[in-house]
Structure 1
């Protein structure tokens, strides 16, 4: 089924699926490979059949079944001869993670963690269909679609330094709201500053271990320091944008005579009208997600200010970085020794750019882009840095989390939310959620080991471990 190339690297040979243009590459340890669903291998091979794919169809160690592309999948397509596919991005466009530093130490926060978690849960709306405290106008929605985190900062939800520490400065140029449907607008308009449900969370953590002191210093991290991690995306707007354009691209496959082994791989030639319409709408959703996380950041700072009686500047609540998952981006990479523009699809994968890359913020350029890898509820998360090797191995990409091994429906039959909550609280982790079933769906046992997943990318050299953070309090939808 797969052939071992080296420790943590496996090849899916051409021929696994008829029409494969390139091999597959699966970056996973031998023990993690044993838990990979055969359907995930099929999805990696299926992506390798798409026109214009470059080098390999890849999947990270957190890979599992997704829509069309495996979650954890990475594929790059030639700008002129390749395709764009919503299945390579996902429904929650720019589901991403940001990390806020503080100058608080663990011992200062632990006595307040229950009140702090409760206040964060109250101040940042969460859950299915949750609505924002903001009543955005149509013009403000367009501004968010066009300018992302920059719109939020200019509207008073943050400071300019926040956008400097976001991937792509917190917005992608080229978005066009005219390609966003009325239904997508209606769904997105009331949801700015909301977490949503599923695996999204707002987590208070502390730095438990430093692996690389020089890089940690550049990132402003020390042992015992309290941080805040925000994980969420583009909410109903992104989901509807994906749904709308999948219909159009499903017809485009037939129009352009593209042979696909799975209808979920609906796509169109990258420069076609259909593909570009999708791309411009996808950029709107990506920008919306950055605006969403920025608003949540502002309300998180306000909550800390109230609980600790100090302003955010005094608390040192600077944004370390914000990374996107679930996005397609036009990037320049070296393929067969030549520079080439490609549409890199990262579906449940994180950008991991190296030192000296011009898209890495100036503050981190000497050490590489921060790479944020959240754990599952109650388990460690990790901060890594991008490497030069990643550009050669994976188009500058790393994993994005632990990776599910159990469906939400199955999880609710295996776990009781109240029991999980009590177990976590016995470990010193406060949990607030809209319903016990949410906790059951996201129980630690539902996911792979975040430590094992992160060790794979570290050992491959795709991203290097910098620090580990442990949860103190978790607010979930």
Structure 2
């Protein structure tokens, strides 16, 4: 639900209207399909790098020239995975709307359940900058184009590109918008989440799921988990403080804060 609104005008333009409003965030991609695409093309690139005289220190950075046959094949396959992810989120959104309609006895349209924004963030995009046409790879980052950008649909050219920034299950999440400065300074890119301070394996070694469950209960957060080790992976201490990270990109001018969202329910799986 809405916790704080920093920019009422932009928030209203994006459909965020008040503190009693319920907002649903969906975070998922193409799952196994996208992973398979990456695994298959890492093998293809490992072989082709020798032909193109490319060396890398880590085989997970295997690559090919963008305009090569292998590069174009991968770019098409990656876009197929992105389309699968969009369809995946669309199906989940439909199921959420159906669930709300069932519980409240009114249609999703009557409840005003409109989409704010949907974006693919772990992806390579062909974009034009002062330096020329570039392939911009974003991983754990997301696009943040400013107002008036020709890359944006008309509806977002007044506000700047919406930036959805998810926190951990213990913290809030944020809605931001991109800026012209982001285009100049970071190739139109900003944070997508707070980022981890430790790996999943390290989190499991640091905290026990049962212990975390009890700590959360004392704070009024009730957790039902099939796997206690899976719960430990998502411990708040495994993530940076999202408010501090959001504040830093806001001060840097590459995104502007619009609203802070407080979790009232979280489903992972």
TM-score range, shorter chain: over 0.9
Matches of 2:81 and 2:46 in 1, distance apart?
Answer: 20
Matches of 1:210 and 1:431 in 2, distance apart?
Answer: 28
Q: Relative to structure 2, which stretch is displaced further, 357-366 or 299-308?
A: 357-366
1:211 aligns with 2:3: no
What is the CA-CA distance between 1:227 and the residue it aligns to?
0.3
Q: Relative to structure 2, which stretch is displaced further, 450-459 or 420-429?
A: 420-429
Give the aligned partner of residue 56 of structure 2.
260
1:373 aligns with 2:165: yes
Q: Work out the number of aligned pairs and report it.
A: 268
* Counterpart contact for 1:389–1:462, Cα < 8 Å: yes
Matches of 1:284 and 1:310 in 2, distance apart?
Answer: 35
What TM-score does the superposition give when structure 2 sets the normalisation length? Answer: 0.95
* Counterpart contact for 1:208–1:223, Cα < 8 Å: yes
Matches of 1:320 and 1:412 in 2, distance apart?
Answer: 35
Matches of 1:430 and 1:304 in 2, distance apart?
Answer: 21
Q: Could you tell me which of 357, 378, 383 is aligned with 2:175?
A: 383
Cα deviation, 1:153-175, whole Å, max 9, x if unaligned, reads xxxxxxxxxxxxxxxxxxxxxxx
Cα deviation, 1:448-471, whole Å, max 9, x if unaligned, reads 111111112111111111110010
Q: Could you tell me which of 246, 259, 262 is aligned with 1:467?
A: 259
1:349 aligns with 2:155: no
Matches of 1:395 and 1:373 in 2, distance apart?
Answer: 18
Structure 1 vs Structure 2 CA RMSD: 1.5
Give the aligned partner of residue 414 of structure 1.
206
1:229 aligns with 2:25: yes
Cα deviation, 1:126-148, whole Å, max 9, x if unaligned, reads xxxxxxxxxxxxxxxxxxxxxxx
Classify 1:249/1:296 alpha carbon distance in 2 versus 1 (closer, same or farther; 3 Å): same
* Counterpart contact for 1:270–1:276, Cα < 8 Å: yes
Q: Which runs of 5+ in 1 are unaligned?
A: 1-205
* Counterpart contact for 1:368–1:386, Cα < 8 Å: yes
Q: Could you tell me which of 400, 419, 437 is aligned with 2:229?
A: 437
**Structure 1 or 2: larger strand share?**
1
Matches of 1:355 and 1:397 in 2, distance apart?
Answer: 14
